């Protein structure tokens, strides 16, 4: 079902993506000692598995759509110096954590983490395994630009323990990639997929819809081509155009961006194609094979959402982030490292850690966070589940969110959700507007002047 233009006009408004609550642009300046004390406290949380995020900011060239924290660099000595700092940060933080805790997830993000050699990736993993037990079911993933790697690199990554390779394809159309200043891969994506699957590892495809020169018809070709290659997971990110924050994105305005209606057609076509091919739609933008752990977690209501997107509660604990801009996500707080590599170097040298901003959630904010995550993961809201998660009574929760529920009446009128005895369920039409529905429960957003991308 494709939303009517009137719904697009009503709901194509700016709203958070809710990879955290509150979103990162609400974080406030903090002191290094605040972070250190929070690290100590994090050992006492009942569900105490460890998820590690390692940020590698380097890219060989700047893609004009990029919203990530990146550094354009082709100088190996700069990368080596950064890794020296990264290792120092990891060793210090690890010294504050209980060694009996188990690591269930390691994620190399960026930037382009394939800027590192396999030896350098292995050194990071070794630092972790020297301090903690890495669970046998742990997910160890890396984001790669397929234009900058070959099959040998992939084989060696898997040999040192990486078991999920995420290929940032973005689009199969070379004209689109050229328009957004992204290199076109010379090695067929099928070669990577065959190599990865032959070694019993998993492969993700990442795409972006809403880029210049994309049309609903051209994106159907891209997704059809992707399905033929049988990735284990596929993600279609809605392009977030925020040139006030990322000025290089203004380059794309010279070519013109697809309309909101065209973007929505790209998404609806993708959902139809993926589901017809047997994939399960996960939340806002993920798709997974029926046997994938994400699909099983969705069925069991054990999905989780963090800064890496959708994941399972089995593999995700508190997130400890390292490197520039990395966001540590603890049970009751967030801490983000400085984005500036010079400041990062100075902080690691003098303080051993480099947090610049953070946020400690109040009890009421923790409840709001649980509600918003539940909506995004389960496409609805069931008060009995929220009561179980938060320890609050159902009556208390309904009282707390009475005004928010009242504001959801318009969603019901527009056919986006259906109220039930348990709470409400989002309809197939409403899934396109999950961010809007989640935002209705966000008191901070209602009074915010922060910058967010549009929901479509």
pLDDT of residue 23: 85
| Three-state secondary structure of 174-205 | HHHHHHCCCCCCCCCHHHHHHHHHHCCCEEEE
Structural element, H or E, at residue 240: none
Residues 401 and 277 in one domain: no
Same domain for 223 and 294, yes or no, is: yes
Q: How far apart are CA 146 and CA 326, in angstroms?
A: 23
Same domain? 218 vs 265: yes
| CATH number of the domain that residue 33 is part of | 3.20.20.70
Are 1 and 29 contained in the same domain? no
pLDDT in tens, the chain (456 residues): 667 778 888 887 777 888 888 888 899 999 999 999 999 999 999 878 999 999 999 999 999 999 888 999 989 999 999 999 999 999 999 999 999 999 999 999 999 999 999 999 999 999 999 999 999 999 999 999 999 999 999 999 999 999 999 999 999 999 999 999 999 999 999 999 999 999 999 999 999 999 999 999 999 999 999 999 999 999 999 998 888 889 999 999 999 899 988 998 999 999 999 999 999 999 878 999 999 999 999 999 889 888 878 888 777 889 999 999 999 999 999 999 999 999 999 999 999 999 999 999 999 999 999 999 999 999 999 999 999 999 999 999 999 999 999 999 999 999 999 999 999 999 999 998 999 999 999 988 766 656 677 767
CA gap 20, 366 in Å, rounded: 11
Return the pLDDT at 96.
98
Contacts of 390 (CB under 8 A, 6+ apart): 366, 367, 370, 397
Residue 202 to residues 62, 161, 167, 268, Cα–Cα distance (Å): 27, 12, 11, 26
Which residues fall within 8 angstroms of residue 154, CB to CB, at 6 or more apart?
Answer: 144, 165, 192, 195, 196
Going by the DSSP 8-state scheme, the letter that residue 210 receives in this structure is S
Q: How many domains does the chain have?
A: 2
CA distance 261 to 4: 9
282 lies in a domain? yes
Q: Are residues 106 and 219 in the same domain?
A: yes
Q: Does the bond joining 376 to the residue before it have cis omega, within 30 degrees of 0?
A: no
- Where does residue 219 fall: left (phi above 0), alpha (psi -120 to 50 degrees), or beta otherwise? alpha
pLDDT of 449: 57
Instruction: Answer yes or no: is 420 within a domain.
Output: yes
One domain, residues 191 and 205: yes
Tell me how many degrees the CA angle 68-70-75 measures, rounded to the nearest 5. 160
Q: Are residues 66 and 3 in the same domain?
A: no
User: 281 forms bridges with which residues in the sheet?
Assistant: 287
For residue 406, give both structure tokens: 């009242």
Q: Are residues 318 and 447 in the same domain?
A: no
The predicted structure's pLDDT at residue 389: 93
The answer to whether position 340 is within a domain reads: no
Residue with tokens 């999950």: 434
Burial of 409 (0-12, 13-18, 19+ CB in 10 A): exposed
pTM of the predicted model, to two decimals? Answer: 0.94
Residue-range definition of the domain harbouring residue 254? 24-327
400 and 314 part of one domain: no
Return all residues near 423 (Cβ < 8 A) that are at least 6 apart. 380, 381, 382, 383, 386
Q: In this structure, are 149 and 236 located in the same domain?
A: yes
The DSSP H or E segment spanning 29 is: strand 28-29
**H helix runs in 204-249, sequence order:** 216-228
The DSSP code for 454 is B
Q: Look up residue 4 and give its two tokens.
A: 């009517």
Distance CA 357, CA 56 (A): 19
Q: What is the pLDDT of residue 448?
A: 64
How far apart CA 112 and CA 146 sit, in angstroms, is 10
């Amino acid at each position: 079902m494709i939303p009517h233009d009137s719904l697009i006009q009503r709901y194509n408004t700016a709203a958070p993506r809710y990879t955290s609550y509150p979103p990162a642009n609400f974080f406030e300046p903090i002191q290094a000692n605040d972070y250190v004390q929070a690290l100590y406290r994090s050992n006492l949380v009942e569900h105490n598995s460890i998820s590690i995020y390692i940020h590698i900011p380097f890219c060989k060239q700047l893609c004009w759509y990029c919203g990530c924290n990146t550094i354009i660099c082709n100088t190996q000595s700069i990368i080596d110096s950064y890794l020296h700092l990264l290792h120092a940060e990891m060793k210090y933080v690890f010294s504050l954590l209980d060694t009996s805790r188990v690591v269930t997830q390691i994620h190399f993000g960026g930037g382009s983490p394939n800027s590192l050699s396999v030896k350098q990736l292995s050194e990071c993993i070794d630092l972790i395994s020297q301090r903690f037990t890495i669970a046998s079911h742990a997910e160890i993933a890396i984001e790669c630009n397929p234009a900058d790697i070959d099959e040998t690199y992939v084989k060696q990554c898997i040999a040192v323990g990486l078991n999920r390779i995420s290929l940032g394809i973005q689009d199969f159309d070379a004209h689109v990639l050229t328009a957004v200043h992204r290199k076109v891969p010379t090695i067929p994506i099928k070669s990577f997929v065959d190599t990865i699957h032959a070694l019993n590892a998993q492969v993700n495809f990442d795409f972006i819809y809403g880029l210049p020169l994309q049309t609903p018809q051209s994106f159907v070709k891209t997704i059809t081509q992707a399905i033929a290659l049988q990735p284990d997971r596929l993600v279609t990110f809605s392009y977030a155009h925020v040139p006030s924050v990322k000025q290089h994105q203004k380059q794309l305005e010279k070519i013109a961006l697809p309309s909101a209606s065209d973007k929505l057609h790209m998404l609806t076509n993708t959902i139809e194609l993926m589901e017809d091919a047997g994939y399960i739609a996960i939340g806002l933008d993920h798709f997974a094979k029926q046997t994938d752990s994400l699909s099983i977690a969705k069925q069991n209501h054990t999905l989780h959402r963090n800064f890496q997107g959708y994941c399972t509660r089995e593999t995700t604990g508190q997130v400890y982030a390292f490197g520039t801009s990395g966001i540590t996500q603890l049970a009751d707080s967030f801490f983000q490292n400085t984005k500036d590599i010079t400041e990062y170097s100075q902080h690691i040298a003098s303080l051993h850690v480099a947090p610049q901003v953070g946020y400690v959630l109040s009890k009421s904010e923790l409840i709001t966070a649980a509600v918003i995550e539940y909506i995004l993961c389960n496409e609805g809201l069931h008060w009995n589940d929220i009561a179980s998660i938060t320890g609050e009574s159902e009556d208390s929760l309904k009282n707390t969110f009475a005004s928010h529920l009242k504001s959801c009446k318009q969603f019901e009128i527009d056919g986006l959700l259906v109220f039930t005895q348990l709470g409400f369920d989002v309809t197939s039409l409403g899934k396109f507007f999950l961010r809007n529905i989640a935002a209705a429960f966000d008191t901070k957003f209602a009074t915010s002047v922060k910058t967010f991308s549009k929901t479509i």
